[in-house]
Structure 1
Amino acid sequence: MPQRIVIVGAGQGGLQAAVSLRQEGHTGAITLIGSEPHLPYQRPPLSKAYLKTGDANSLRLRPRNFFEDQNIELLLSVTVTRIDPAAQTVEHSVGSVPYDHLILATGTSNLRPDIPGLDRALDLRTLDDAEALREAVSKAQSVAVIGGGFIGLEFAAVARAFGLEVTVAEAASRLMARVVSPEMSDRFLKLHRGMGTTVLLGAPVSCVTETGIVAGDVPVTADLVVLAAGVRPNSEVAERAGLATENGVLTDARLLTSDPAISALGDCAAFPDPTTGRLVRLESVQAATDHARLIARRLVKGDEASYAAVPWFWSDQADSKLQIAGFATPEDEAIVHPDGAVFRFDGDNLSAVETVNAPRIHMQARKLFAKHQRPTRDFLAAHEYEIASMLR
């Protein structure tokens, strides 16, 4: 069992790794390194509840004394500059720390496309971003959002609730195209337009001006511009250390990197999907915390199990809660059930189930994937797409 464990990244995944190591019985040294000045906090509410309340304390995952009580060394406002796999050390902005095993939980950063004037746009990724955005919203009357994914649409819904004029500019031909079916895209397009939001599709932003943006050929006037055009994995330090990378830090099914003394988890980790074997990278809190628990069991108990949890995702937009069980690609076919659930198919096999304001069906879908892994079309048709019947 490694005695000195270093975790780079103090988000929910990194924190969960530290917590799980202690829960599993690790008694050696744990160092948790975070680049932000804040104690580990929840990110999902930043684009929703926090913008309304401004209550940063409610986001905090653990109080400061937790780290003292659990003998976890917490380094905040510290940037990792280099990993030396041969010497097994992590060099950072205020020194260095040795490790027997290293866990990379570095997450993602906002994509910043090559758009003239983009420095005028505000990001929404960190607590500091959200604080700055909340103040800017209080002084604005109109906002332009670059990107029609989860974060952009969640923010757009909150801005409309505040009474701002909102324009969403999406380069793709539909909303949330990377993660949901065309049918679900259409449903949320109607939702946002019904709220009074202007949604421009197939409208890549060509520049950010002092008075707004230009989306496609359309000039949009806005007091405030928010960038929500996707993310990229923070894998640069891993790549410089010689680790294999491909849209993230490459790992095997146990979340071990190409170096057996280094693991990776969460948004930065690219690993084989447990059902299809294809390389995936999951941007979800659930995946990050599940990864952390699996790595802790491997390091402390010697459990060599592969990651096999059912992926699930959610997005709260106005009064609509979108939930997805499973993992689909944009090419996967969609079949809409009369109850509104959307069943996605990778060839002959079910890949995901999308629902809105249907938590019971969502939970049943997660149980279905856990029980049957990849149900076939024939199996679903035989049960008339009634998930409760399939579970019985």
Structure 2
Amino acid sequence: MRGIVVVGNGMAGSRLVSEVRARDKKARVTVFGAEERAPYNRVLLSNVLAGTTRADQVRLHGPSWYDDHNVTVHLGTEVVAIDRETRCVITADGGRTPFSVLVLATGSEPIVPAVPGAERAIAFRTMDDCERILAAANAARRAVVIGGGLLGVEAARGLAGRGLPVTLLHLKGHLMDRQLDHEAGQVLGDTLEGLGVEIMTGVTVTGITDGKVELTTGHVEADLVVAACGVRPVTALALDAGLHVERGIVVDDEMRTDDPAIFAIGECAQHDGQVYGLVAPCWEQAAIVADLITGADARARYRGSRLVTRLKAKSVELAAMGETHLTDADAEIVRFTHRRGGTYRKLVIRDGRLVGAILVGDPATVGTLTQLYDRGGPLPADRSGLLFPGLAGAAPVSPSPVRMPDAAQVCRCNNVTKGQIRACWEAGARDVAAVAAATRATTGCGSCAETVGGIVEWLCEQEGASA
């Protein structure tokens, strides 16, 4: 009997399955996951590495979820081919599973430097990788992380948090160069160095030997090497099946490939020339496809996502959104830097609208600036109120629940507003765990947990005051 088949059980695939089941209790659903584990929140692996979160705390589904929701799951089972003529997927053991609808959520794979000794490095991508790194860290004297993007910064901070001396190597001139400008990258580097991470930028790795990472300019000693050099979409399955593949699997606004029975979502999908590597777009795409394949909303369409990159680790917080690399010649730039205090704030404004922002350090204005960026609303004439909400006469930019409108987005990953949190609180969800269960707020990158807690606390106080 044919039904919905999902290939990939990571953050995109597992969310799709739960979205489908929320809309249709009877649809036949089968999911294949190459990993032997139940799905988990990959975004929070850096917290597991740092020791602030246990592995069991990042699970997306409990062990009994699939049986409870009548979903057939094949863990540790690789799909190796798609037979489009007979509408079947073929697994490594030769098994064939028919489908009426196929959703590819194959995700991405880590890029490892193509240098001699690369096999000595441990990629930082999966829970298995995380466990290998932790096991090696127990006996290591010094670690090197290759790659100063978001994942590399998180890995370096996590290892340093365990007391291990860490050197972070980055090819470009400053950390997180895709999201941050040079000055912001320097402030981030200063912050990490203050936490025990040695930063080396503008360096090229030429090889990895026993106890050393070789550079064009010398070497760095290390008995643990972590590769965090980026990822590439996993597209071989689609390519072998004759689907249109560029950088990712090309899809339209329905997330449909050039075969109308096959969809693609998450990090393997390319929509309008863009491949998204953040959780919020993946989950938005999953909801769109669930609407379409269950018939819940035949008009559902994906129009792309406005990206906000968040890093929230102990003593390291930043957010970057939109067009962060524009100069004064291209847009109005409002900026404040305090390197010693680890603070950098930059607004990029065009035609009176916020088109980009970088915030390193104090995150007080992140929520409001994200809303302004998402909605494209007009900005106050006095820009200082956007960077310094506490200034006398400044425009009211406050995360306080009292001033926050119900339409304000609190959890970006799951598109949860203050009004939705209020509604589920009024329905009986009286703590953060209950709100998370009802709305999924806090279950993505986790950066909204403090705000959600503040709203719940404020609602409880309001109830007590009116009693």
Q: Same fold (TM over 0.5)?
A: yes
1:313 aligned residue: 309
Cα distance in 2, alignment partners of residues 56 and 389 from structure 1: 40
When structure 1 is superposed on structure 2, of 293-302 and 382-391 the one drifting more is 382-391
Residue 291 and residue 327 in structure 1: after superposition, are their counterparts in 2 closer, same or farther (change >3 A)? farther
Is 1:190 the counterpart of 2:184? The answer is: no
Of 279, 282, 285 in structure 1, the residue corresponding to residue 276 of structure 2 is 282
Cα distance in 1, alignment partners of residues 149 and 352 from structure 2: 28
TM-score relative to the length of structure 2: 0.75
Preserved CA contact (<8 Å) 2:112 2:123: no
Shift of 1:341: 3.0
Cα distance in 2, alignment partners of residues 341 and 31 from structure 1: 47
Give runs of aligned pairs for residues 246-257 of structure 1, distance below 5 A.
246-257=246-257
1:363 aligned residue: 367
1:354 aligned residue: 358
Residue 285 and residue 222 in structure 1: after superposition, are their counterparts in 2 closer, same or farther (change >3 A)? same
Query: What are the Cα deviations for residues 36-82 of structure 1, in whole angstroms up to 9, with x where unaligned?
Result: 01011111222223441573211211112111111111110011101
Preserved CA contact (<8 Å) 1:354 1:362: no
When structure 1 is superposed on structure 2, of 341-350 and 235-244 the one drifting more is 341-350
Of 270, 280, 291 in structure 1, the residue corresponding to residue 285 of structure 2 is 291
Residue 101 and residue 138 in structure 1: after superposition, are their counterparts in 2 closer, same or farther (change >3 A)? same
Shift of 1:384: 2.2
Shift of 1:14: 0.6
Structure 1 residue matching 2:288: 3-state secondary structure: helix
Preserved CA contact (<8 Å) 1:149 1:230: yes
Cα distance in 2, alignment partners of residues 13 and 191 from structure 1: 33
Shift of 1:328: 3.7
Shift of 1:152: 1.3
Structure 2 residue matching 1:294: 3-state secondary structure: helix
Return 5+ residue gaps in structure 2 as ranges: 337-342, 387-394, 398-403, 406-467
Preserved CA contact (<8 Å) 1:181 1:344: no
When structure 1 is superposed on structure 2, of 5-14 and 340-349 the one drifting more is 340-349
Which amino acid is the alignment partner of residue 303 of structure 1? Answer: R
Give runs of aligned pairs for residues 213-232 of structure 1, distance below 5 A.
213-232=213-232
State the structure with bigger RCO (CA 8 A, min sep 6), 1 or 2: 1
Return 5+ residue gaps in structure 1 as ranges: 273-278
Cα distance in 1, alignment partners of residues 259 and 228 from structure 2: 34
Structure 2 residue matching 1:280: 3-state secondary structure: coil
Runs of 4+ in 1 over 4 A off after TM superposition: 344-350, 357-360, 385-392
Which amino acid is the alignment partner of residue 120 of structure 2? Answer: R
Which amino acid is the alignment partner of residue 54 of structure 2? Answer: D
1:276 aligned residue: none
Structure 1 residue matching 2:123: 3-state secondary structure: coil
1:143 aligned residue: 143
Preserved CA contact (<8 Å) 1:291 1:307: no
1:111 aligned residue: 111
2:121 aligned residue: 121
Which amino acid is the alignment partner of residue 226 of structure 1? Answer: V
Shift of 1:103: 1.0
Is 1:24 the counterpart of 2:23? The answer is: yes
RMSD across aligned positions (CA): 2.6
Query: What are the Cα deviations for residues 321-378 of structure 1, in whole angstroms up to 9, with x where unaligned?
Result: 2223x4447x544834348432346899744322235555222233223322xx6xxx
Structure with bigger gyration radius? 2
Is 1:83 the counterpart of 2:82? The answer is: yes
1:275 aligned residue: none
1:158 aligned residue: 158
Preserved CA contact (<8 Å) 1:254 1:307: no
